[in-house]
Structure 1
């Protein structure tokens, strides 16, 4: 078993590596050669923690395994460590023997950001110039860095419930020599691309805050009950997702679908756009929306890439298990 500890991930995984791994696995999912297993997520009755498993098998990339972990809401205040904790386990699909164990914290942040940037590459207008951010938490910085590499953006705008957190987005914009402006939600109509990355259970923005031709990546809703945008935006937009089954049950589309405002057949796989079996954006005035729910195959694909690079660089350790 090859072990790549959390402390080594930052020196191994680049943004392009994460992007390529996620793009390829989305394509494999849409082609029917990769599939996710049912997600298990439970409140354990201790430390108010949520713990679960996401797994799957990619018959093209030959990745088999799972990510185990969850959310411990008191970690930061009590222990000075991040609240999200996870580890990825890979298995040999030929024998079932454990093949690798990979730290999953930074991996999760990078694969989530890679997913939104894959959607931006394939669905946003080519002439997109203004990047909009709704949310300024820990994950938002990863999201913004990935997104800014997809187009020739000229400006970043941002909104957050707590404006004092927006300087973190301004720092990322400065890394790309771009100006940053804090805006109201109404000011988000200036954006050509919007990423929402919050943990909200109540809608924050809707169709009134989004201009025609915009691409939105909704990346915060991954649980039953969560909701970042009003259902009127879901109805108005052409919706794409990583996995339709998750989108309609625990993703951003869950509310519109349960209300009968959108059907499962109205939601398309991003992988189909990558494969060329769906046209994707069809006009410069069309609003496109990516519902990024987060699937186990993303974790496995990125973990497999990490192990390959780690072995080539001599990072990590091989253990007889």
Structure 2
């Protein structure tokens, strides 16, 4: 009845020991395989996320995202999106934790940080979509939005493309200027540019912004490369969109989770018939995307719980490989399971070893 806890020190050590590239590649490979299984009907889909929206002076969203793999486990992520965190509290915009439950008993098997996990799996999802939809010769990445998500977007795409250059735009000049240092480990030429210049020069464009509902698009429609592929990452609540509708309607659109995408992604502005396919179908049949790679494509990424389930698998396997984490008895296990008051009391002997006695 112990729970395996993986905190910030543990996930930080995973990154330092295995390396960022190794961790990202493991998530990309595992996610590609899981999405292919989903597309073939081997895995069951995740239900759409649910939660609460905060208005007023401190806007944001708090959501719960569950995924069940029968006989193996249930993953539940609790995640908060608070766009004013960085300036108000010095905290990441996205905070969260991820729990793994035993599918047979409901026992809390593991509890892990969800901040790094969310950034990794979001970058990995864009990498999977980009590997299928982007022009094979793509070398220039455009980023609209230079916050934390931009780092893992660039990192994920660098694993599947021969990137040479990054054009970045952000409404906060300091964020745009600071991105070069944050992704220096990729060895890319990074240049700050106006949104229209980013659109015109990119082979692949990622939008990862914290625009408020009704305030999009985050760049104007205009000239772009014929083979442009867009990963639209930032939309995560009704009314919040990033792309010009005219561009979206010209593109072949691929969604990650159809129900979520039509409720709170870019596709909330499209009829079901205007969405071409889903990412899991393309992973199950990659040849279906071959004819799309020379035209305009959009990956409508809302982020769904299967991605968290897969990323947690990768993180737990890495932690086990490195002997990381702490085991803690969190759930109450009475001496008599029919009597919740039949508690156990921990004592410490003179050797410093903890034991449990009945009360």
TM-score normalized by the length of structure 1: 0.89
CA RMSD of aligned residues (A): 2.3
1:128 matched to 2:138? The reply is: yes
Distance of 1:143 and 1:176 partners within structure 2 = 12
SS of 1:253's partner is: helix
2:254/2:277 contact within 8 Å kept = yes
**Structure 1 match to 2:196:** 186
Distance 1:84-1:181 versus aligned 2 partners, 3 A rule: closer
Distance of 2:206 and 2:7 partners within structure 1 = 30
Distance 1:130-1:69 versus aligned 2 partners, 3 A rule: closer
1:144/1:172 contact within 8 Å kept = no
1:271 matched to 2:284? The reply is: no
1:119 alignment partner, one of 125, 129, 132: 129
**Structure 2 match to 1:139:** 149
What displacement does 1:135 show? 1.1
Distance 1:264-1:59 versus aligned 2 partners, 3 A rule: farther
1:58 matched to 2:72? The reply is: no
TM-score normalized by the length of structure 2: 0.80
Which of structures 1 and 2 has the larger relative contact order (alpha carbons within 8 angstroms, sep 6+)?
1
**Structure 2 match to 1:282:** 291
Point out the structure with max Rg over C-alpha: 2
1:244/1:264 contact within 8 Å kept = no
User: Per-residue CA shift, 1:239-269, capped at 9, x if unaligned?
Assistant: 11111111111101112x2xxxx43463311
**Structure 2 gaps, min length 5:** 16-22, 332-359
2:136/2:293 contact within 8 Å kept = no
Distance 1:281-1:239 versus aligned 2 partners, 3 A rule: farther
1:3 matched to 2:12? The reply is: no
Q: Which runs of 4+ in 1 moved over 4 A?
A: 44-49, 72-75
2:300 alignment partner, one of 256, 281, 291: 291
What displacement does 1:21 show? 2.9
Matches within 5 A, 1:66-215: 66-72=76-82, 75-172=85-182, 174-187=184-197, 188-200=199-211, 201-205=215-219, 207-215=221-229
